[in-house]
Amino acid sequence: MTFKAKALVATLILVAGVAVAADATDPTVKAWQELMDGNGAATKTLGGMAGGKMAFDAAEAEQAKAALIDHAGAIAAKFMTQASDPASKASPDIWTNWDDFVAKANALSTAATALDVTSMETLQAGMGAVGGACKDCHTKYKLP
């Protein structure tokens, strides 16, 4: 594996590894976190394959890609209503910068849709944009 691929995989595992950190009780917040856990799971699969940690399987990659597109497309609708929960890491800035938040969700949709899962190499080529889209939104709208 090249250094670049290794760095990419480390980043993706970091992003996916945030999962199960929180345990909200508010139903709206729970839905956000479940949606994001779905993003985490799909990214873990795709990142694992891109980094050679998991055997490349085109059908499985296609499924994870479809899940990622689905989840990305649901972000705006799920976050539209502001809610709060002590376990939530959602920044209140989401609702004062709504258009920018939606643009970041759309950027993830675009990156996920562009993923070419026909081979490990093409998957590797597309995963940087996916990881970047996760990170871009988390940096601004997910509290540490």
Residue list 19-38, contact with ligand HEC (CB under 6 A)? 19, 21-22, 29, 32-33, 36-37
Compare residues 40 and 126 and give the one whose CB is closer to ligand HEC: 40
Residue type at position 38 = G
Whole-number minimum distance, CB 98 to ligand HEC, in Å?
11
Cα torsion 124, 18, 74, 140: sign: negative
Binding of residue 46 to ligand HEC (CB under 6 A): no
Q: Which stretch binds ligand HEC (CB under 6 A): 2-10, 51-59, 97-105, 115-123?
A: 97-105
DSSP 16: H
Residue type at position 136 = D
> CA neighbours within 13 Å on the CB side: how many for 80?
5
Cα distances (Å, whole numbers) of residue 61 to 11, 66, 127, 141: 19, 9, 12, 28
Residue numbers of the site for ligand HEC (CB under 6 A)? 15-16, 18-19, 21-22, 29, 32-33, 36-37, 39-40, 43, 68, 75, 88-90, 101, 104-105, 108, 130, 133-134, 137-138, 141-142
